[in-house]
Amino acid sequence: MSHEIRTPLNAILGSAELVQAACTDPEVREYLQIIQSSGAMLLNVINEILDFSKIESSEVHLERLPTVLDDLLENLAGIFQTLARGKSLTLTWSRDGAVPAQIYSDPTRLRQILTNLLSNAAKFTSEGSVTITIALDEDQPRRLRFSVADTGIGIASASQAGLFQPFHQVDASTTRRFGGTGLGLAICKRLVEALNGTIWVESEPGHGTTFHFTLPYEPVVENTALGAKPTYTATGSTNEQATASSPDVEPLAILLAEDNIVNQKVTIAILRRIGYRCDVAENGAAVLEMVRQRRYDLVLMDLHMPVMDGYEATRHLLSAEAATERPIVVALTAAAMAEDRDRCRAAGMDDFLAKPVGQKELLDVITRWRETIEARRHEPVRSWSL
């Protein structure tokens, strides 16, 4: 269901972003912004409903992976800039010095919990600040306490008891004023409990709200000297446009694997706008044939394609004799659930982008991998055997 909804939504939002960037008429730009914001709200509703249904049916599979907490905090700061767009909000985040820099956890689910709490804070706080802290729990030292505090409208004590129930809203006007499904906090509670943790809220009307949750933890390396993560701040972003790559940077050889013609056109146009061009393959078999003929730096790989899907194509790239010279493979897909990310990782893909994808997301992933790509360019070129 997620794939069937996200595929056309990617075309709608991508096209709206492209037209808005080229349009000078203020009234038309306003309508296009409405399309984008409404599409983003629809996407969030879809994600929450699908995620909650999976959690309720016990289809969520947890992982135990090394998780760098500082990277997680910085990632959340980037998310906050989008959530707080147009508001006078400041985000502060920190990790206490007694907290390990790296723990074993499920990074995807931990990020999801904190993102939901951060989204809730930004939604109900028009100005002021939001603070994320990670510290040892005072009552249970073998647990970490994560806290997300805001200076927003606050919640009356009588309304707090049902906050973590599905589809709960503080009052009947909440949905009309702020939107949402009422599932975000219910998802947080179930995920925290799945990780053997506890979540609760402290709030007072007019004085803001703080959500806390504790989780048991295991350091990746015991008894390692750990420094505190300095306190950082970020502010809500404005409607910034992603900027193109610097003209003195060598262009990348990009291959787009996408069978949907509309999404081909949209992605090509977005890449062109941020300074890149690409070739197109309509299925995984075509990807392998084109990689034989040319050395590509980056493959944007759809997953569900005819003839050969993205998973199989990636496995072929990894098994090639010249696998060390293979392109960076980034999943670009409407299959956006946690298990889809897991399958991509298992197939050997390097990164993951969930549709709908805009200029910022594409530019971010290219920037993230450019250094690796540049290093690989200095390796000798050999023939591929696929």
The CA-to-CA distance between both ends of the chain, in Å, stands at 33
Q: Pick 65-235's CATH classification: 3.30.565.10, 1.10.3430.10, 1.10.287.3510, 3.40.630.30.
A: 3.30.565.10
Cβ atoms of 129 and 152 closer than 8 Å: no
385: helix, strand or coil:
coil
From 263, 270, 267, select the one nearest 244 (Cα to Cα): 270
Quickly tell me which residue has 């959690």 as its tokens: 55
Q: Where are the domains of the chain?
A: 2-56, 65-235, 254-377
- How far apart CA 352 and CA 359 sit, in angstroms, is 15
Residue 316 makes CB contacts below 8 A (sequence gap 6+) with 284, 288, 386
Could you write out the DSSP letters of every residue in 8-47?
Answer: HHHHHHHHHHHHHHH---HHHHHHHHHHHHHHHHHHHHHH
Backbone angles phi, psi at 181, to 5 degrees: -100, -15
Number of neighbouring beta carbons within 10 Å of residue 252 = 22
Q: 254-377, superfamily in CATH?
A: Response regulator (3.40.50.2300)
pLDDT tens string, the chain, 386 residues long: the values are 566 777 788 788 888 888 888 888 888 888 888 887 777 767 767 777 777 777 776 767 788 889 999 989 988 887 787 777 778 889 899 999 999 999 999 988 899 899 889 988 988 898 899 999 999 998 887 999 999 999 999 988 888 777 888 766 655 444 444 455 568 898 899 999 999 999 999 998 989 999 999 999 999 875 443 445 455 554 444 334 444 444 445 689 999 999 988 889 989 999 998 999 999 999 999 999 999 999 999 999 999 999 999 999 999 998 864 555 789 999 998 877 777 888 999 999 999 998 888 888 899 999 999 999 988 876 655 555 55
Q: What is the DSSP letter of 335?
A: -
Q: How far is CA 335 from the centre of its chain?
A: 13
Cβ atoms of 265 and 294 closer than 8 Å: no
